Amino acid sequence: MSPVILFSAGAERFEVYAEPLRDALRAAGVSPRVVTEAAPEEVDYIVVAPGSGITDFGPYTRCKAVLSLWAGVERMVGNPTLTQPLCRMVDTALEAGMVEYVTGHVLRHHLGMDRFINRPLTGWEAGVPPLASERPVAMLGLGALGRACARALTELGFPVLGWSRSPRDVAGIACHHGAEGLAEVLGRAQIVVTLLPLTPQTENLIDAAALARVPQGAVLINPGRGALIDDDALLAALERGHIGHATLDVFRTEPLPEDHPYRTHPHVTVTPHIAAATRPETASRVIAENVRRGEAGEPFLHLVDRDRGY
């Protein structure tokens, strides 16, 4: 009997995923039935996205894996009914999008582009920006996305200071970990990029004390999760001019409320959670490979560790 995949990530998404998912499953050599509704006890795999609808995974007694279309799983990882293996999305297109977002915004601040864009040039003296090699960048998070961004920045010449939970060894990057490592990385970075998952340990990591450690005028770029940042502390650091600019893609409340001070702050750039999106063609291949593995009894890719929370 063919396995059943319940696509529970929204009707609109199903419209764009149905075809690439069918093609990817065929290419992976598996032929499940992909449905948007099914009796829970008949479901072998569930494809989910945040807000997809299923809150109680208990009745899905036959389900071999819950496959997330999102990289960040903080809204699902604490669900006590979700006892099946949970796999997050690690997707080449997601990675490529994040590399473009991060390098683009790092280069904007590094080159001081704002001085010339949409403003008439007065005079002729503006000062030449330093080379990338003179601009240390901190990459908080050395996972799938952090490593890809760190590599791209290194290729552009930026010295990258990486930080992770456990010790990491990434070619060309000065890797640090733990509380001491964070102090070292923040103390030297002129641009700080946060690509950490949201967990109880990372919530409010960028607080007043962390912000005080970065050199005067440093720039913060956050495409990770909004709650990594203590918003009041960041606004205060921006007011003092200690943080020169913050480019923020993710927020505690999304959409960011109309009256939120970030929206009008002259030294904040708000982007509406567009840093990197899961793309149906590539993400479908990841889903299909995990279904193939499940059917072959092989270990799943990108399993979430419930204890770590990511």
Report the distance separating Cα 82 and Cα 196, nearest Å. Answer: 23
CB-based contact 161:189 (threshold 8 Å)? yes
Q: Does 251 participate in binding ligand NAP (rule CB under 6 A)?
A: no
Among 199, 247, 284, 290, binds ligand NAP (CB under 6 A): 199
Q: Write the binding mask 95 to 134 for ligand NAP: x where contact by CB under 6 A, - elsewhere.
A: ----------------------------------------
Tell which one of 21, 87, 276, 287 touches ligand NAP (CB under 6 A): 276
Nearer to ligand NAP, 90 or 236 (CB): 90
CB 262 within 8 A of CB 229: no
Q: Which of 72, 159, 226, 280 binds ligand NAP (CB under 6 A)?
A: 72
Assess whether 225 carries a catalytic annotation.
yes
Which member of 135, 165, 176, 225 is catalytic? 225
Q: Residue 138: name the closest of 198, 199, 196 by CA.
A: 196
**287 makes contact with ligand NAP (CB under 6 A):** no
Binding piece for ligand NAP, criterion CB under 6 A, among 39-47, 58-66, 137-145, 262-270: 137-145
Separation CA 78–CA 32 (nearest Å): 29
d(CA 171, CA 175) in angstroms, rounded, equals 9
- Residue among 8 and 202 whose Cβ is closer to ligand NAP: 202
Instruction: Report the nearest approach of ligand NAP to the CB of residue 273 (Å).
Output: 6
DSSP state of 112: T
Secondary structure class of 110 (helix, strand, coil): helix
Long-range contacts made by residues 31-34, C-beta under 8 angstroms, separation at least 24?
31/2, 32/2, 32/3, 32/4, 32/5, 32/291, 33/2, 33/3, 33/4, 33/5, 34/5, 34/7
Measured from the CB atom, the residue of 10 and 143 that comes closer to ligand NAP is 143
Q: In the annotation, is 273 catalytic? A: yes
Pairing mode, if any, of strands 45-48 and 4-8? parallel
Stretch that binds ligand NAP, among 35-43, 51-59, 131-139, 141-149 (CB under 6 A): 141-149
Check binding of 94 to ligand NAP (CB under 6 A).
yes
- Catalytic-role residue among 168, 273, 279, 292: 273
Dist. CA 221–CA 269, nearest whole Å: 9
Segment near ligand NAP (CB under 6 A); pick from 104-112, 138-146, 211-219, 236-244: 138-146
Site for ligand NAP contains 310 (CB under 6 A): yes
How many CA within 13 A on the CB side of residue 209?
Answer: 5
Catalytic positions, written as ranges:
225, 273
* List of residues contacting ligand NAP (CB under 6 A): 71-72, 90, 94, 141-146, 164-166, 168, 195-199, 201-202, 223-225, 249-250, 273, 275-276, 310
